[in-house]
Structure 1
């Protein structure tokens, strides 16, 4: 099945730039590339860095990094790869669906971020940012063997944040923001029994959207000069999705047997919180070490339970997600007055469990290797670049029919091999 929406901010400045990113990049469907500067060190020190205002995504207190009016635009171009091998697949009547797979289920995509900071006093900075905190995009096509489990999946969350950061003292900064979220969901799959003499097969597609409100708080403390501690918390966001389901190529027998008819749909989903803990330590005038631990509260997402405004049974997909941590370490090296180099590594643990892994969430643990650089053209303008290679654990989706929710989907056993390359770039301008 599917869900998508019309986008609250699609008429805004992001109308031409926002795209959902592939699930091959970040664990679950969180997107982590909101800063080319931070990505160059694999997010090491993300909540404690004094580099630029883009670190405010993880800690709103870091908008205090702006000494003057500053605008920053960052973008990540995600190039995923996912190879799927179908070992077996059957429909609900145990008829084989073959082993046809697809090698083009994920597409390259752009993840943009925008930041604007304006000091309103000597110690207080107001900030606005636009980000895509969560995104997922996958399209297997309508002919592969696992089509009764999924053909297309899409999730996109756009967040517009309004923040204030305040320097309490030379050692302490605090910040907070309120966020307006617009989320879209698309869920599509085949329905029916392809080899059944009367029920046959059609396509069901759900598109829905919702708005939500979230917040973030953060603090940055420098107990001794050269050592910075930072913590930032982004809240859960509750969404009440509303949309509709539309069916195509549904014959009368299938429609009558399953009460399939175009209808309105609703579902309530809570997107997870994110806690970021970081430290930066200046090892010398040129070399800085950064460490981060990022906890995503995936346990808030129990799954999808779509209620149809018709006699059709609810469509259920249990996520079974578990709260998980991402750990990273990296260094920044000031090569010259104009050029700073950085590198980092990270371990990004997947929230997906073997029992509930599905064709919509074929997720595995990830390892990052990142390199990056920032070049200062002058005191007012700088550019940052990063490259990240993401290695993803090979996983198997084994839906053997033991879950009640698969009673109409049949079985699927498929192996997934995935990886991703991400190129990031940013420009920062002070006025």
Structure 2
């Protein structure tokens, strides 16, 4: 029971556990459809539309007109689970439903130096839903977590070369995680269940600098701060196992739970170069400080003495490491109405073989992207994008014990993950 509780709590503590999102760890990349077309190369230097509010808030100073941009990205994932062993069950691998990621931005230039704006986007998010008889169900079989961010922003242009931008972020996290508990008593007829729900709102910030070496070449750097959460919620343990429901040590019930979490800061650096009237080239790299996720500590209240002995305070080592992602891209302007984009990206995974679980079965990944921009008028732009990513084979090796070692469970398998991403956005300039 202690390990089951912990494995489920880790999913909430991780924030989003993005198994198949187009970024590593539990981050999402889908905050810009125009950026998606180049695999997000040049994210902090392109400043092509209102989505620069996220990519680099300093880029708002390049926009000459008031602009709104709304978009949606859909992620369709596929997982093959091979070489599985453990408790009796199945390994369908179809655990990530097609998921939509919305975004919206508004930017208004006040004069030739100042601009203001506001953005709403999803930096983290996941739904994973394994089948009921999943072989790894004791290590997590349902996760639904998301972070929604609102970012009011201001930018200032010092001169023709240098601009800065800043925006505080208001971040709302909520999640629901579930896992099964194996039968511990000979008379038990079914698994028990653990369900955790929690949420919090916390502040962070996004700051950027944009420097234009020439009218055709510019570089940007964006810093996205860490965010400190204290999730408050409850844990519900249900079932009919006599070993867990005995009068002297009844573990079934609903309990208050809380945990502290830091989502990591990141630094994004990129360069945009307009080669000529038709070709634009992009390159970028981002460092994410995933090493902040060293361990998870969950505090629980309202339990009886017997339950509190196991669940009062729970901790587990994570030992994630910092990661780099790299991307290159290009855009080709066919004519005034049509622009084509493409990009290639490589993203490291912060997880390690020791602690990787079915909730986060991710490895290093590669993504290729294609995009299309249509400008039917000077006021309107329609962006479409497609990305395909694939990961290295990822191994899971998990073990846990129950009832002071009387019940042992293990799960091992190899995951082969891939995903298709589709995006569409509409931008309108006033």
Q: Tell me the TM-score normalised to structure 2 length.
A: 0.89
Question: Of 159, 174, 183, which aligns to 2:164?
Answer: 174
Look up the match of 2:149.
Answer: 159
1:110-129 equivalent positions in 2, closer than 5 A: 110-129=100-119
For 1:408 and 1:46, locate their aligned partners in 2 and report how far apart those are by CA, in whole Å. 50
Contact 2:18 2:27 in 1 (8 A): no
Look up the match of 2:286.
Answer: 294
Structure number with higher helix proportion: 2
Contact 1:203 1:250 in 2 (8 A): no
For residues 74-109 of structure 1, the C-alpha deviation after alignment (integer angstroms, 9 at most, x for no partner) is 2111111112236221xxxxxxx2252233211101
For residues 15-56 of structure 1, the C-alpha deviation after alignment (integer angstroms, 9 at most, x for no partner) is xxxxx8952122111000111100101111110013112122
Number of positions where the alignment pairs a residue of Structure 1 with one of Structure 2: 408
For 1:406 and 1:360, locate their aligned partners in 2 and report how far apart those are by CA, in whole Å. 24
Structure 1, 66-75 or 419-428: larger mean CA deviation: 66-75
Question: Of 60, 63, 67, which aligns to 1:66?
Answer: 63
For 1:409 and 1:231, locate their aligned partners in 2 and report how far apart those are by CA, in whole Å. 50
The offset of 1:252, in angstroms, is 4.1
Contact 1:240 1:269 in 2 (8 A): yes
Q: SS where residue 63 of structure 1 aligns?
A: helix
The answer to whether structure 1 residue 37 and structure 2 residue 37 are counterparts is: no
The runs of 5 or more residues in structure 1 that have no matched partner are 5-19, 90-96
Q: Tell me the TM-score normalised to structure 1 length.
A: 0.89
Structure 1, 43-52 or 53-62: larger mean CA deviation: 53-62
Q: SS where residue 52 of structure 2 aligns?
A: helix
Question: Of 297, 301, 315, which aligns to 1:305?
Answer: 297
1:7-406 equivalent positions in 2, closer than 5 A: 23-25=19-21, 26-85=23-82, 87-89=84-86, 97-193=87-183, 196-197=186-187, 201-256=191-246, 257=249, 259-309=251-301, 310=303, 311=308, 312-313=310-311, 314-401=313-400
The offset of 1:196, in angstroms, is 4.2
The offset of 1:67, in angstroms, is 1.5
Structure 1, 179-188 or 407-416: larger mean CA deviation: 407-416
Structure 1, 104-113 or 191-200: larger mean CA deviation: 191-200
For 2:429 and 2:388, locate their aligned partners in 1 and report how far apart those are by CA, in whole Å. 31
For 1:258 and 1:181, locate their aligned partners in 2 and report how far apart those are by CA, in whole Å. 37
Contact 2:187 2:241 in 1 (8 A): no
In 2 relative to 1, CA 238–292 (structure 1 residues): closer, same or farther, beyond 3 Å? Answer: same
For 1:421 and 1:21, locate their aligned partners in 2 and report how far apart those are by CA, in whole Å. 18
The offset of 1:138, in angstroms, is 0.9
